[in-house]
Amino acid sequence: MRSCAKSIEKLCKEIINFSKDKKNIYIYGTGRTGIRCSKLLKFLDIPVCGFIVSHEKYKNSVRGIDAGIIYTIDEFQVEPKDGVIMASVPKFFPEILPALKEKTLSYMVYTDAKPILEITTKVGCSVNCKYCPQSKLVAAYQAKERDKILSFNSFKTYLDKIPPLVLIRFCGMSEPFLNPECGKMIRYAVEKGFDIDLYTTLVGVEQNEFLSLLKILPEGSITLHLADAFQNCNIPVTKEYVSMVKSVFASPGRLCNCVSYHGELHPELEGIVPEGTVIWNEMQDRAGNLSEEEVNVYHQEKSGPVICTENYGYSAMLDCNILLPNGEVALCCMDYGLEYLLGNLNEESYLDIRTGENIRKIRKEMLADGDDTLICRRCNLAREIL
Ligand code: SF4
């Protein structure tokens, strides 16, 4: 659960408005937030003239910044129409703000945005988890002529339309490695500077390919959906599979902090998952998308205004969306019936989709006191707010 983040569309609008009457834009801060801010400005085609830091010593600790000169605030000479975007963590604000005011600099405060786009690399999943409404997804998806597999070229096209602050999650509504180009897509997204993570059963990936991906995946980026003792999921427990699971935990750095399985862990995997790893084994009916005959789990019904606890904690930002192989973007990982499609990256930009009529309508319905058919009112990730 995260907090204190802004919606990506609002952040972009604020930066564009701030920059439009400025001649030179500088970023105050060269840490992780400063780097994220510079990536976003590059995406928005706003040139950055340089960076500002509070002390000389910070000039040498800069990593990952490829633009402009770095000034300390003392040596920075203000020109008319300079603007500074303060991209630092809040604990430094009391130090930075008086310095900016003293120099009578026009500034705005950057508040990071951390949206997520989950990539469905294929529709139709052979893992066939008992607690996944895959058949509902396949029926809804095939009701129209749509590409069932995400091609690498389409992935590249879609990624170009996505601001680099969006976390690219290889997960979506099916096992990502069932698409043979998944590894290539992961490498491409990393190369393009996106933060990524991966939720996988390891079905479909070859051991050598997986071992090579482990070298580029960031710390904490893997969630493993493991085989269970009752074969609730079709994950073949071969020697190679067990060895791949072991390699995740044997890699330098802590790549995986969280695993999930349905019910009890498969006996062949016992002793592999280190202590302290978060375990998800709670069953849910995917916002009413599984019938009672299919699963025997608690079904939730809510009424009145609700907010979503996915991603940012408690909000109606709805910014953990799902990309489908044909470029369509669905509301979230609960919409297996594809009843809440937000737009299509072949026709619109990501920011257009995030501000479009479809998402605005859903937000309005969430916060209103009506429409009990809205998917959120039967979702375990929604919370009633009144
Ligand atoms: S259905 Fe659930 S996860 Fe999806 S937006 Fe509504 S509350 Fe969030």
Ligand 1: does its nearest atom lie under 6 Å from the Cβ of 308?
yes
**Residues of the chain under the 50 pLDDT cut:** 1-3
- pLDDT for 373: 87
Tokens linked to 231: 């074969």
pLDDT at 104: 85
Residue 324: predicted pLDDT: 98
Non-local CB neighbours of 291 within 8 Å, separated by 6+ positions: none
CA of 334 to the centre of ligand 1 (A): 6
Can you tell me the distance from the alpha carbon of 18 to that of 254, in angstroms, rounded to the nearest whole number? 40
In sign, the C-alpha dihedral spanning 38, 41, 45, 48 is negative
CB 172 within 8 A of CB 121: yes
Residue with CA closest to ligand 1 atom 4: 332
Q: What does pTM read for this prediction?
A: 0.93
Q: Which tokens hold the place of 151?
A: 């091609």
Q: Ligand 1 in contact with 265 (CB < 6 A)?
A: no
Model confidence pLDDT, tens digit, residues 286-324: 888 877 666 666 677 888 999 999 876 677 889 999 999
What pLDDT does residue 293 have?
62
Q: Is the CB of 331 under 6 A from ligand 1?
A: yes
Ligand 1 atom nearest to 287, measured from its CA: 1
**Which of 290, 299, 310 is the pocket-test mutation for ligand 1 (most atoms within 8 Å of CB)?**
310
DSSP helix/strand/coil, 112: coil
pLDDT of residue 1: 41
Asked if residue 85 has its Cβ within 6 Å of ligand 1, the reply is: no
Question: In this predicted model, what pLDDT tens digit does every residue of 212-250 receive, in sequence order?
Answer: 999 999 999 999 999 999 988 999 999 999 999 999 999
Give phi and psi for 343, each to the nearest 5: 165, -170
Residue nearest to atom 8 of ligand 1 (CA): 308
C-alpha distances in Å from residue 383, one per residue of 5, 280, 310, 320, 363 = 19, 20, 10, 16, 14
Helix (H, G, I), strand (E, B) or coil at 384: strand
Ligand 1 atom having least distance to the Cα of 366: 6
